[in-house]
């Protein structure tokens, strides 16, 4: 029995504990799913089209808090993607090939379903500016409504890349600009190939 009067069984799975109502906490108590060992894992979801140094900074900060981070690459059919989800995931894996604490997975559908599959309750989201807040706040509340054990942790990237977005990277590359230093090398190489293929004359 915990000090908050909630039964703790460290061997049980999050899904089973949720079904039994054990995510509930009393006034002044911490969320047990965050303060217990399950919080050793966090999920950083996004479309990452492409993955850039701002994302890298978020992963670095997340690893200071959580021993393992899963980068969840969303198969978003609602967007016109430069790269497919599997190719995006492959590029990110290449960047983290020497970092065993980072795992890369692609997923589709609801994020909370993916969280349950990964047995995770912590969502990592990057917050660049006040303009991001309303959307991120809505998503955090909706995810918690869909699955109460989940918590969202907001992190900020390095100040020098606060302006950076995947959309901006795509636009620069599409106009023939150099994005060296803005994306990992593995991503830059794929972007350069994409630019050559989309701008080569037919024949």
Residue with tokens 């980072």: 102
Task: Enumerate residues 6+ apart whose C-beta is below 8 A from 67.
Answer: 40, 41, 101
- Residue from 79, 97, 108, 165 carrying the catalytic annotation: 79
Residue 52 falls in the annotated catalytic set: no
- Residue from 105, 128, 144, 158 carrying the catalytic annotation: 128
- Residue from 166, 170, 188, 190 carrying the catalytic annotation: 166
Beta-ladder partners of 105:
72
Residue 150 — φ and ψ, nearest 5°?
-75, 145
Residue 55 falls in the annotated catalytic set: yes
Which run of H or E residues covers position 105? Answer: strand 102-107
Residue 105 falls in the annotated catalytic set: no
Residue 166 falls in the annotated catalytic set: yes
Q: Are 79 and 108 in contact (CB under 8 A)?
A: no
Torsion sign across C-alpha atoms 138, 153, 111, 26: negative
- Residue from 17, 52, 55, 95 carrying the catalytic annotation: 55
Active site residues: 55, 79, 128, 166
């Amino acid at each position: 029995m915990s000090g908050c009067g909630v039964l703790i069984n460290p061997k049980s799975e999050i899904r089973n504990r949720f079904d039994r109502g054990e995510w509930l906490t009393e006034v002044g108590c911490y969320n047990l799913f965050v303060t217990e060992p399950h919080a050793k894992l966090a999920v950083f979801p996004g479309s990452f089209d492409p993955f850039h140094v701002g994302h890298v900074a978020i992963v670095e900060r997340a690893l200071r808090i959580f021993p393992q981070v899963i980068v969840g690459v969303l198969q978003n059919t609602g967007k016109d993607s430069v790269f497919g989800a599997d190719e995006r995931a492959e590029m990110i894996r290449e960047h983290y090939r020497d970092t065993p604490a980072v795992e890369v997975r692609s997923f589709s559908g609801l994020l909370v379903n993916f969280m349950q599959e990964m047995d995770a309750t912590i969502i990592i989201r990057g917050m660049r500016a006040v303009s991001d807040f309303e959307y991120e706040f809505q998503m955090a509340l909706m995810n918690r409504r869909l699955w109460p054990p989940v918590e969202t942790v907001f992190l900020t990237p390095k100040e020098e890349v606060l302006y950076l977005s995947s959309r901006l990277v795509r636009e620069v590359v599409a106009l023939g600009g150099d994005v060296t230093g803005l994306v990992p090398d593995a991503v830059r190489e794929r972007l350069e190939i994409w630019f050559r293929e989309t701008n080569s004359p037919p024949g």
